[in-house]
């Protein structure tokens, strides 16, 4: 099966992509769920009420739980399509819609990018290998009508020093950027903090963007049971 995917630059084709995963009828869907068409954002800043902020926090909590599941599943031998399937079911169980699904025709419920892919990759049947650097972007649309979105980088197995430093650079840049996320700050302040931090990590700085969501770098650690994991 070949599925044509609409993008901001036109249409591209993903060979062998299976049909969209099913979503129960009781799950509230975003406007694009049926058609894949995304309406443009309003040309102004939307100020959120306290109720809106509370709803956004709840959506974010669902997304965070789903992201942590994706990170735990990302082990040697696991395919990103298998990760996608389990995270899809978990989001549905939480009463939310997996936001990437059919967004501009996107065929999966999670974005997964491995190694040289920067971000927003399509999960597939390639098994993760020892030394891979995998990035997951997990987003949800809650039953209250709010989006929650977050991402993380996973170091799969024994990653080389360059891969570890790459993730560390991205992680540090995110935390520095967050210091500027406050009333009165400009978006350029956030970008400037990110740029200054990543360039300080030369020669890895030019690749820092590939460690998507570096503030949530996940690396499994060994234990007697072989199943324990920890944040790094």
Q: What is the pTM of this model?
A: 0.80
In angstroms, rounded to a whole number, what is the distance separating the alpha carbons of residues 59 and 133?
27
In angstroms, rounded to a whole number, what is the distance separating the alpha carbons of residues 5 and 115?
22
pLDDT per residue over 61-101, tens digit each? Answer: 999 999 999 999 999 999 999 999 999 999 999 999 999 99
Q: What is the CA radius of gyration of the chain?
A: 18
SS3 annotation, the chain: CEEEEEECCEEEEEECCCCCCCCCCCCCCCCCCCCCCCCCCCCCCCCCCHHHHHHHHHHHHHHHHHHHHHHHHCCCCCEHHHHHHHHHHHHHHCCCEECCCCHHHCCCCCEEEECCCCCCCCCCCCECCCCCEEEEEEEEECCCCCEEEEEEEEECCCCCHHHHHHHHHHHHHHHHHHCCCCCCCCHHHHHHHHHHHHHCCCCCHHHHHHCCCHHHCEEECCCCCCCCEEEC
Percent of the chain residues topping a pLDDT of 70: 79
In angstroms, rounded to a whole number, what is the distance separating the alpha carbons of residues 222 and 136?
22
What class has domain 2-8+49-231?
Answer: alpha beta
| Lowest-pLDDT range of 12-16, 81-85, 146-150 | 12-16
In angstroms, rounded to a whole number, what is the distance separating the alpha carbons of residues 130 and 76?
6
Residue 19: predicted pLDDT? 75
In angstroms, rounded to a whole number, what is the distance separating the alpha carbons of residues 177 and 27?
35
Q: Residues 171, 175, 177, 181: is their CA dihedral positive or negative? A: positive
Residue 139: predicted pLDDT? 98
Tokens of residue 213, six digits = 């969501």
Residue 201: predicted pLDDT? 85
Spacing of C-alpha 28 from chain mean position = 21
Tokens of residue 93, six digits = 């169980």
In angstroms, rounded to a whole number, what is the distance separating the alpha carbons of residues 75 and 108?
19
In angstroms, rounded to a whole number, what is the distance separating the alpha carbons of residues 10 and 187?
28
**pLDDT at residue 147 greater than cutoff 90:** yes
């Amino acid at each position: 099966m070949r599925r044509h995917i609409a993008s901001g630059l036109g249409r591209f084709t993903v060979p062998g992509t299976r049909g969209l995963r099913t979503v129960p009828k009781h799950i509230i869907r975003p406007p694009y769920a049926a058609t894949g068409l995304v309406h443009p954002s309003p040309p102004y800043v939307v100020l959120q009420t306290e109720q809106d902020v509370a709803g956004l926090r709840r959506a974010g909590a669902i997304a965070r739980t789903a992201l942590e599941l994706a990170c735990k599943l990302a082990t040697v031998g696991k395919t990103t399509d298998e990760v996608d399937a389990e995270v899809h079911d978990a989001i549905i169980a939480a009463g939310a819609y997996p936001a990437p699904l059919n967004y501009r025709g996107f065929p999966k419920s999670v974005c997964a990018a491995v190694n040289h892919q920067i971000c927003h990759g399509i999960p597939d049947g390639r098994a993760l290998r020892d030394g891979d650097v995998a990035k997951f972007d997990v987003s949800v649309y809650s039953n209250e009508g709010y989006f929650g979105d977050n991402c993380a980088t996973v170091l799969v197995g024994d990653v080389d020093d360059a891969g570890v430093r790459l993730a560390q650079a991205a992680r540090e840049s995110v935390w520095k950027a967050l210091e500027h996320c406050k009333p009165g700050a400009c978006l350029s302040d956030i970008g400037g903090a990110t740029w200054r931090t990543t360039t300080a990590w030369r020669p890895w700085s030019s690749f820092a963007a590939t460690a998507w969501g570096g503030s949530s770098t996940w690396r499994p650690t060994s234990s007697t049971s072989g199943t324990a994991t920890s944040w790094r």
